[in-house]
Structure 1
């Protein structure tokens, strides 16, 4: 089809208002074709009076959670002891209202999508939001341990401020811990939306269903992938590019194995170096073991074991 670009051939534009209007008049025919595919297997759509959770609201829930857990770090204005209680009160009420609404939307959507009887979405939203906020003091203590793990594990930093402000690993683990708490309250959709937001910001992909212990530290972090049935003990340290994944399944078995453990178990105080890949639900890495860089592991490792790659043969090619 020939497309006329202004000034490409003609010295003056020959495309008049009448021809432009004729293009617009053809659009309803295309719209009817688009509408005809809705409600069929050729189209994924949400045409309903019940609104879905809003992505921007979920991002604000993440931001509010971070501001409450780490007060003073992400605010626009100053924060002191005089206004601390008032400020946290305002932030907490805002978080409750926003979270209750988005949980209600998610529950209502699941109810309608699965054609369930009324699941009292408004009540579930209010209750889940309350019980989530009730866990924030414990989550703050848990994340403070993650900050200390970064200080102890990375000689390149000397300040908790630097870790909280700058480290993508702490952002990812903060969002994971918030999302994980919501998942345990049977909140649909929102936990995965939260961790995928962190994934887009950091390049770190942690499924909210994974079980991660205390004092967890991702050094650099970029490219880390932690699957939904992974179990990680206390004091574990992983470096960039580490994958705790699942073995590939035949297509006809994917649905049947969705509820089974598919990702590895990592014991306490394990160190996993950059680029290591550990796969399979039956794979267990024993406590205090060290997994070297670029190792590909699909079998269990006893405690206190080092697994390393044989030194590769290097070829140096240069001037004669």
Structure 2
């Protein structure tokens, strides 16, 4: 009863007595201003300057439904209405995407290029990128179909391809990655990274949108998988939970800043299997058909067809 009375007493007080709202607002404004000065950003009038994570999440939900309408679309959708639903959904999702692409292109010109904004050129570029992405959707669907089949055929616990699509976190991550990778290729890397991080938050699978991944990719279980930006993965590759395809070292320039864009992640050729907990670092090549056992630390090339285990790792690992 005591806690209830205290709650009633607090709720009856004027809100202004609880804290100095005006002071907090002014102090937050000061912090923002110091940040903008430190980042050399001017305060400009107008609306939002950066793409929205919430908007991208809504767009992704629409794209998921348009790609797989009878499985990831609305629960009351009938097959005879598929094309109408897809057309309506894509129209809304792609127009929303156009707004987000505009924001990123404006951001690139304002803060990365450092010049003024050519509104007409920005609009044309945004429309071209969204148009190119729209025409890539059939190919994205084909790649995702191959991922679903790979998961079904590679997991004896899978009872159907529908179960795989609806339930497997690896497939959810790949839906996001196939979309994000296309954004990355189209020159909107911030949108791509937001999409990738939406999947990371939901699944625990962290795939940089720059990673190139071939058809038939299967992530079993998935939690803790990390795949770096410059990784190249062939066809019909399978990885298990807690696998890392990462960088071994981070070169710096003459000023001590990290060098960006260097090829620093592994190349994994076709038909490779990498078991749980394995860590593969650096620009090494895992040859076609090789198997990497669990909990291994691999920093050198592995020959095609090799079967690398803890007991045999020295025997089958190539020299640097």
Q: Distance in 1 between matches of 2:195 and 2:243?
A: 21
1:152 matches 2:153: yes
1:59 matches 2:57: yes
TM-superposition CA deviations, 1:1-27 (whole Å, max 9, x none): xxxx9999xxx99x9869928845654
1:108 shift after superposition: 0.6
Q: Distance in 1 between matches of 2:23 and 2:117?
A: 44
2:115 matched residue in structure 1: 116
1:278 shift after superposition: 0.1
Q: Distance in 1 between matches of 2:42 and 2:280?
A: 38
1:86 matched residue in structure 2: 84
2:315 matched residue in structure 1: none
1:188 shift after superposition: 3.3
SS of 2:72 mapped into structure 1: coil
1:70 matches 2:79: no
2:173 matched residue in structure 1: 172
1:53 shift after superposition: 1.0
Equivalent pair of 2:249/2:282 in contact (CA under 8 Å): no
TM-superposition CA deviations, 1:264-314 (whole Å, max 9, x none): 100110000000000001x11100000000000000011010111139xxx
1:45 shift after superposition: 7.7
Question: Taking structure 1 as reference, are residues 24 and 144 closer, same or farther at Cα in structure 2, changes over 3 Å only?
Answer: closer
Equivalent pair of 1:216/1:235 in contact (CA under 8 Å): yes
SS of 1:244 mapped into structure 2: strand
Question: Taking structure 1 as reference, are residues 302 and 76 closer, same or farther at Cα in structure 2, changes over 3 Å only?
Answer: same
Question: Taking structure 1 as reference, are residues 64 and 35 closer, same or farther at Cα in structure 2, changes over 3 Å only?
Answer: closer
Max Rg structure: 1
SS of 1:235 mapped into structure 2: coil
RMSD, matched Cα: 2.8
Larger relative helix fraction: 2
Q: Name whichever of 242-251 and 24-33 sits farther off.
A: 24-33
Q: Distance in 1 between matches of 2:299 and 2:217?
A: 23
SS of 1:189 mapped into structure 2: helix
1:210 shift after superposition: 0.4
1:314 matched residue in structure 2: none
SS of 1:90 mapped into structure 2: helix
Trace 1:191-210 onto structure 2 (pairs within 5 A).
191-210=192-211
Aligned counterpart for 1:259 among listed residues 253, 258, 261: 261
Trace 1:126-165 onto structure 2 (pairs within 5 A).
126-165=127-166
TM-superposition CA deviations, 1:72-128 (whole Å, max 9, x none): 112334223321221111011112101111100111111111323435222222221
Equivalent pair of 2:242/2:276 in contact (CA under 8 Å): yes
Equivalent pair of 2:66/2:73 in contact (CA under 8 Å): no
TM-score (norm 1): 0.85
How many residues in Structure 1 have an aligned counterpart in Structure 2?
Answer: 301
Query: Structure 1: which 5+ residue stretches go unaligned?
Result: 312-320
Q: Distance in 2 between matches of 1:217 and 1:57?
A: 28
Question: Taking structure 1 as reference, are residues 20 and 218 closer, same or farther at Cα in structure 2, changes over 3 Å only?
Answer: same
Q: Name whichever of 107-116 and 207-216 sits farther off.
A: 107-116
1:316 matched residue in structure 2: none
Q: Name whichever of 160-169 and 58-67 sits farther off.
A: 58-67
SS of 2:223 mapped into structure 1: coil
SS of 1:72 mapped into structure 2: helix
Trace 1:1-320 onto structure 2 (pairs within 5 A).
20=17, 23-24=20-21, 26-27=23-24, 30-31=27-28, 33-34=30-31, 36-41=33-38, 47-48=43-44, 49=46, 51=48, 52-114=50-112, 115-119=114-118, 120-249=121-250, 255=257, 257-281=259-283, 283-310=284-311
